[in-house]
Chain A
């Protein structure tokens, strides 16, 4: 059963720290516990989306720049 990373709050999901930079993580990358895999922008503030446990980021379930709801699954971990 793959573990899923959930959005901590509703907003816009971004895979990059800023539009000019590379994504935090690619699908298939190893992720450490507490590591940031993306950002959520809500009400003009940015909040990190962090992995709870270490593992491999299997795939993203939402696109860069897409709107997410609170607790919506953002990525699947293995």
Chain B
């Protein structure tokens, strides 16, 4: 049954985006707000606002009981979770389902399954989707390590089975260095964790982050091509593009087909994103995880396909079957999104909340700015620093970079610092122009610039 009223359990630019998509479909909106957000742009756009708790996210946007109670009291027939917060929380989704309210997303079981790395990996393997080759069980001794490394393929990365994070990770280039490094790693693991078991997987040097957008209605699944999100800082995406310019048609077809195969296997319903590591040298891709929600960078896919993903989510949740086939979806031109964060890039990305004294959005053809900003708004310190996403489209990649530079020059935000100067510098960089980057590139680029600046 088509959704008539929608509870928006999120804040910021995505809440603004969801309000607009719902309005376009004639859906009434009820906006959740913490006590710090009652004056937000999303609240101004919504038909109704419900205060769900104090400013701190743990007491408001992350409080399952408070939000479920507010949803029930609101009389909404559906809930859109946005991204982050409770969007991939099976307990929240179960509670919404139990109340007989439509969750704009997959069912709780699918979220739980795809949110578990080991289960998602097993589903991927069953669907024939390549995953990063790794050791089976723990690596028991040097003989076992030799056998497993030969099967996985060098270079391999070894780490302690019992360890967490990046501790004690070693990169092994060939069998000769395996002979020395495995005993070392085992001794260290024994000393640190009381267990000398090792885990081993293929090390992908200069890996790029590529992801495929899918849409499923529970029966049919289509893909909307891929995005590249290799420019990252502290594992946070900073700049995203669609398409991934370095893929050959054959690799793109195989990549997108693998995403559809996996989503189809789990009878996926909703917009979803399958994330992959890509090795440019060997042109291999490896599935890493699936996000069962709308993604921050969804607008670049909208820009190259012309399909409104948030409206699609709402229509699918309302019971519609997909209204297009794979053959109807084409990829045209090139789109780039940059994340405008309230941070000072000149001062180690120090958060910069505060009053927006003056604000002007960039304007022009093929420029889109998804934002929570308005003049006189106070950017709150309690939440994520994302205040806007600047999206440009052009017929090709170099024209898109030029358009981005123009658009960035048309953006004015005074009173707070933003990361716009970082994006301007990136847009002017020759390596970015050639698309020569990987997931560790941005941090080393910034370190090199900092060294240059300190010499000058």
A43 contacts which of B55, B56, B342 (Cβ < 8 Å)?
B342
The reply on B445 being an interface residue by CB < 8 A is: no
Interface string of B47-75 (1 = CB under 8 A from A): 00000000110000000000000000000
Nearest neighbor of A68 in chain B, beta-carbon distance: B381
The reply on A58 being an interface residue by CB < 8 A is: no
Are B55 and A67 in contact, CB atoms less than 8 angstroms apart?
yes
Take A43-B342, A44-B383, A44-B384 as given contacts and tell me if A9 and B351 are in contact as well, using a CB distance cutoff of 8 Å: yes
Task: Kindly list chain B residues whose C-beta atoms are within 8 Å of the C-beta of A12.
Answer: 56, 381-382
> Please, how many angstroms separate the alpha-carbon atoms of A11 and B353 in the complex?
8
Task: Kindly list chain B residues whose C-beta atoms are within 8 Å of the C-beta of A9.
Answer: 350-353, 381
The reply on A42 being an interface residue by CB < 8 A is: yes
The reply on A18 being an interface residue by CB < 8 A is: no
> Please, how many angstroms separate the alpha-carbon atoms of A11 and B383 in the complex?
10
Task: Kindly list chain B residues whose C-beta atoms are within 8 Å of the C-beta of A44.
Answer: 383-385
The reply on B354 being an interface residue by CB < 8 A is: yes
Report the minimal beta-carbon distance from B373 to chain A, rounded to whole angstroms.
15
Take A12-B56, A67-B55 as given contacts and tell me if A43 and B354 are in contact as well, using a CB distance cutoff of 8 Å: no
The reply on B201 being an interface residue by CB < 8 A is: no
Task: Kindly list chain A residues whose C-beta atoms are within 8 Å of the C-beta of B385.
Answer: 43-44
Interface string of A31-53 (1 = CB under 8 A from B): 00000000001111101000000
Task: Kindly list chain B residues whose C-beta atoms are within 8 Å of the C-beta of A45.
Answer: 351
Interface string of B324-356 (1 = CB under 8 A from A): 000000000000000000110000001111100
Task: Kindly list chain B residues whose C-beta atoms are within 8 Å of the C-beta of A41.
Answer: 381
> Please, how many angstroms separate the alpha-carbon atoms of A41 and B56 in the complex?
11
> Please, how many angstroms separate the alpha-carbon atoms of A43 and B382 in the complex?
5
Size of B's binding interface in residues, CB under 8 A: 14
The reply on A10 being an interface residue by CB < 8 A is: yes
Say whether chain B's binding surface is mostly helix, strand, loop, or mixed. loop
Take A43-B342, A43-B383 as given contacts and tell me if A11 and B351 are in contact as well, using a CB distance cutoff of 8 Å: yes
> Please, how many angstroms separate the alpha-carbon atoms of A70 and B354 in the complex?
9
Report the minimal beta-carbon distance from A50 to chain B, rounded to whole angstroms.
15
Interface string of A1-34 (1 = CB under 8 A from B): 0000000011110000000000000000000000
Interface residues of B in 122-170 (CB under 8 A from A): none
Task: Kindly list chain B residues whose C-beta atoms are within 8 Å of the C-beta of A67.
Answer: 55, 381
Task: Kindly list chain B residues whose C-beta atoms are within 8 Å of the C-beta of A47.
Answer: 350
Interface residues of B in 28-62 (CB under 8 A from A): 55-56
Take A10-B381, A11-B381 as given contacts and tell me if A42 and B353 are in contact as well, using a CB distance cutoff of 8 Å: yes
Report the minimal beta-carbon distance from A68 to chain B, rounded to whole angstroms.
9
Report the minimal beta-carbon distance from A67 to chain B, rounded to whole angstroms.
7
Report the minimal beta-carbon distance from B105 to chain A, rounded to whole angstroms.
23
> Please, how many angstroms separate the alpha-carbon atoms of A48 and B357 in the complex?
28
Are A10 and B383 in contact, CB atoms less than 8 angstroms apart?
no
Report the minimal beta-carbon distance from B166 to chain A, rounded to whole angstroms.
19
Report the minimal beta-carbon distance from B289 to chain A, rounded to whole angstroms.
20
Interface string of B382-405 (1 = CB under 8 A from A): 111100000000000000000000
Are B56 and A10 in contact, CB atoms less than 8 angstroms apart?
no
Report the minimal beta-carbon distance from B237 to chain A, rounded to whole angstroms.
15
Report the minimal beta-carbon distance from A47 to chain B, rounded to whole angstroms.
8
Nearest neighbor of B343 in chain A, beta-carbon distance: A43
Among A12, A43, A67, A70: residue with most chain B CB under 10 A:
A43
> Please, how many angstroms separate the alpha-carbon atoms of A9 and B354 in the complex?
10
> Please, how many angstroms separate the alpha-carbon atoms of A10 and B55 in the complex?
14
Task: Kindly list chain A residues whose C-beta atoms are within 8 Å of the C-beta of B350.
Answer: 9, 47
Report the minimal beta-carbon distance from B435 to chain A, rounded to whole angstroms.
30
Nearest neighbor of B349 in chain A, beta-carbon distance: A45
Are B351 and A42 in contact, CB atoms less than 8 angstroms apart?
yes
> Please, how many angstroms separate the alpha-carbon atoms of A43 and B56 in the complex?
11
> Please, how many angstroms separate the alpha-carbon atoms of A67 and B384 in the complex?
16
> Please, how many angstroms separate the alpha-carbon atoms of A66 and B295 in the complex?
32
Nearest neighbor of A41 in chain B, beta-carbon distance: B381
Are B353 and A10 in contact, CB atoms less than 8 angstroms apart?
yes
> Please, how many angstroms separate the alpha-carbon atoms of A26 and B260 in the complex?
58
Take A43-B342, A43-B343, A67-B55 as given contacts and tell me if A10 and B384 are in contact as well, using a CB distance cutoff of 8 Å: no
Among B56, B352, B353, B381: residue with most chain A CB under 10 A:
B381
Are B343 and A10 in contact, CB atoms less than 8 angstroms apart?
no
Interface string of B257-277 (1 = CB under 8 A from A): 000000000000000000000
Beyond A41-B381, A44-B384, A47-B350, 12 additional pairs, beta carbon < 8 A: A9-B381, A10-B381, A11-B351, A11-B353, A11-B381, A12-B381, A42-B351, A42-B381, A43-B382, A43-B384, A43-B385, A45-B351
Q: Which 4 A-B pairs have CB atoms at the shortest separation, nearest pair first?
A: A43-B351, A43-B385, A42-B351, A11-B381
Tell me the A residues contacting B by CB distance below 8 Å: 9-12, 41-45, 47, 67, 70
10 contacts between A and B (CB under 8 A): A9-B350, A9-B353, A11-B381, A12-B56, A43-B351, A43-B381, A44-B384, A45-B351, A67-B381, A70-B354
